[in-house]
């Protein structure tokens, strides 16, 4: 399974919103600029995230976007699922009716278990975990090793 650019950019968008220390709404153009992602593309990505209740929109001169709930309550699955759709590895896991052999297929159980492992794995990481990891990466880059004599 490969995650689409849409999901990877969606996670980066949510990470930018979650790392917002000012707690004031952020403009998509600012996120697009800092993340080097097309604003037009981000404007498409934000729609399902808003529909899922992960993002709140504010209109007007002081408008923009904020997380709808704490980063500690948003999992990677919460972000990726609305952007990718069904995360089952094969269609018959999510919908047995698509395959006439679903009830007698020896591999369907394997695909079902793999899909469950993936979903459970995505549920173990919160946006807050990624924000912490991002802070550590940024701090290590700032405090890089100095080998001068």
Give tens-digit pLDDT for 78-95. 999 999 998 888 888 888
Residue 49 CA, chain-centre distance (Å), reads: 9
**Number of domains observed in the structure of the chain:** 1
Flag whether 133 is in a domain: no
pLDDT of 138 = 62
Flag whether 144 is in a domain: no
Flag whether 42 is in a domain: yes
Flag whether 87 is in a domain: yes
Flag whether 140 is in a domain: no
Flag whether 148 is in a domain: no
Residue that the structure tokens 């549920």 belong to: 123
Q: What pTM was estimated for this model as a whole?
A: 0.84
Find the CATH number of the domain harbouring 60: 1.10.10.10
pLDDT of 137 = 57
Beta-ladder partners of 14? none
| Residue 71: closest CA among 35, 125, 32, 122 | 125
Domain holding 75, by residue range, is: 5-128
* Segments of the chain scoring below 50 in pLDDT: 147-149
Contact, 7 vs 83, CB < 8 A?
yes
């Amino acid at each position: 399974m490969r995650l689409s650019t849409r999901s990877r950019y969606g996670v980066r968008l949510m990470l930018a919103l979650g790392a917002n220390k000012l707690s004031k709404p952020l403009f998509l153009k600012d996120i697009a600029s800092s993340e080097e992602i097309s604003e037009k593309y981000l404007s498409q990505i934000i729609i399902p995230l808003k529909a899922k209740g992960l993002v709140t929109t504010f209109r007007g001169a002081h408008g923009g976007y904020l997380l709808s709930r704490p980063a500690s309550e948003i999992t990677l699955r919460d972000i990726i699922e609305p952007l990718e759709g069904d995360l089952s590895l094969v269609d018959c896991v999510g919908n047995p009716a698509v395959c006439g052999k679903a009830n007698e297929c020896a591999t369907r159980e394997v695909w079902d278990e793999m899909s469950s492992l993936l979903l459970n794995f995505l549920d173990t990481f919160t946006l807050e975990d990624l924000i912490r990891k991002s802070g550590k990466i940024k701090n290590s880059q700032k405090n890089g090793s100095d080998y001068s004599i």
